[in-house]
Amino acid sequence: MLLNCDLGESFGNWKMGLDDQVMAYIDQANIACGFHAGDPDVMQHTLALAKVYNIEIGAHPAYPDLQGFGRRSMAHSHDEVVNLLHYQIGALSGMAAVQEQQISYVKPHGALYNDMMAKEAVFDAVLDAIARYPQSLKLMLLATSEAQNYKEKAEKAGVSLLFEAFADRRYLDDGRLSPRSLPDAVLDSEQTLEQVSLLASEGVVITSSGAKLSLNADTLCVHGDNPHAVAMVKQIRDLLPR
């Protein structure tokens, strides 16, 4: 199982994450494209780091919400979602090309990701944007019990999917993430390592109700926001050797 991490989320004088430290342990870098975080200098630096560590790079587009860090849902038409995705993917793809790199996938950020998983119309718009982009790109989305439905739609659109699981989040019985407003939605260090071990050995997680849930995940999302998080990524990496 691959490890992916949201990176390049600083902008201007605001610094977010320890990208230079976490890069050594991951396989995929989801790079912010300027709408929720990131700016041209940060994008260039993050791409250069990914090149040093030979990491797969993907676009991490969001709703246009710098103030809310892309975590607030926003009403957009189908075409508006397509356009905001093309704008952000194009920005990162162009900057990558300057460094002789290519992006290979798209992982929506924050509220756009959540809306994509909860609202069929938003998923259809995201899928349409990737299908119409002039480069073949995969779409990263949450591994849930409805994976087959997403696969069927994606196959019709000619888009390949990457299903992801989360190392430090509690799951509901339907495979969705427990809302952060609920107790124990975010796992502690010991629980995180237990969940990763179960995913690696049995392909299951224990849900909030105590049930075992099978998840067919291609990649595992980890975080590098602080020294403790980076240390946790290193431990996870040791559980999932390359």
Please report which confidence band the pLDDT of residue 5 belongs to, taking 50, 70 and 90 as the band edges. Answer: very high
pLDDT at 98: 97
Terminal C-alpha separation, the chain: 8
Please report which confidence band the pLDDT of residue 241 belongs to, taking 50, 70 and 90 as the band edges. Answer: low
pLDDT at 181: 81
The answer to whether the predicted template modeling score (pTM) of the entire model surpasses 0.85 is yes
Amino acid present at 146: E
Please report which confidence band the pLDDT of residue 182 belongs to, taking 50, 70 and 90 as the band edges. Answer: confident
Please report which confidence band the pLDDT of residue 17 belongs to, taking 50, 70 and 90 as the band edges. Answer: confident
Q: Which CATH superfamily is 2-166+216-226 part of? A: Glycoside hydrolase/deacetylase (3.20.20.370)
Residues 57/99, Cβ–Cβ less than 8 Å: no
Amino acid present at 9: E
pLDDT at 104: 98
What's the whole-number mean pLDDT along residues 1-17? 91
Q: Which helix (H) or strand (E) holds 212?
A: strand 212-214
Among candidate residues 29, 83, 23, the one with its CA nearest the CA of residue 59: 29
User: For 54, phi and psi rounded to 5 degrees?
Assistant: 55, 50
Rg over alpha carbons for the chain, rounded to the nearest Å, is 17
Q: Which helix (H) or strand (E) holds 57?
A: strand 56-60
Give domain limits for the chain.
2-166+216-226
Please report which confidence band the pLDDT of residue 146 belongs to, taking 50, 70 and 90 as the band edges. Answer: confident
Please report which confidence band the pLDDT of residue 218 belongs to, taking 50, 70 and 90 as the band edges. Answer: very high
User: For 8, phi and psi rounded to 5 degrees?
Assistant: 65, 30
pLDDT over 90 percentage in the chain: 83
Is the pLDDT at 242 greater than 70? The verdict is no
List of residues 6+ apart from 121 with CB closer than 8 A: 78
For 27-53, the pLDDT digits (tens) are 999 999 999 999 999 999 999 999 999
Cα torsion at 56, 26, 125, 11 (round to 10°)? Answer: -90
- What is the β-pairing status of strands 56-60 and 105-106? parallel
Which two three-digit tokens encode residue 18?
Answer: 């320890």
Is the pLDDT at 145 greater than 70? The verdict is yes
pLDDT at 51: 97
User: For 89, phi and psi rounded to 5 degrees?
Assistant: -60, -40
For 104-114, the pLDDT digits (tens) are 999 999 999 99
61: exposed, middle or buried (Cβ count in 10 Å: 0-12, 13-18, 19+): buried
For 162-179, the pLDDT digits (tens) are 999 999 999 999 888 898
Which two three-digit tokens encode residue 102?
Answer: 């290519």
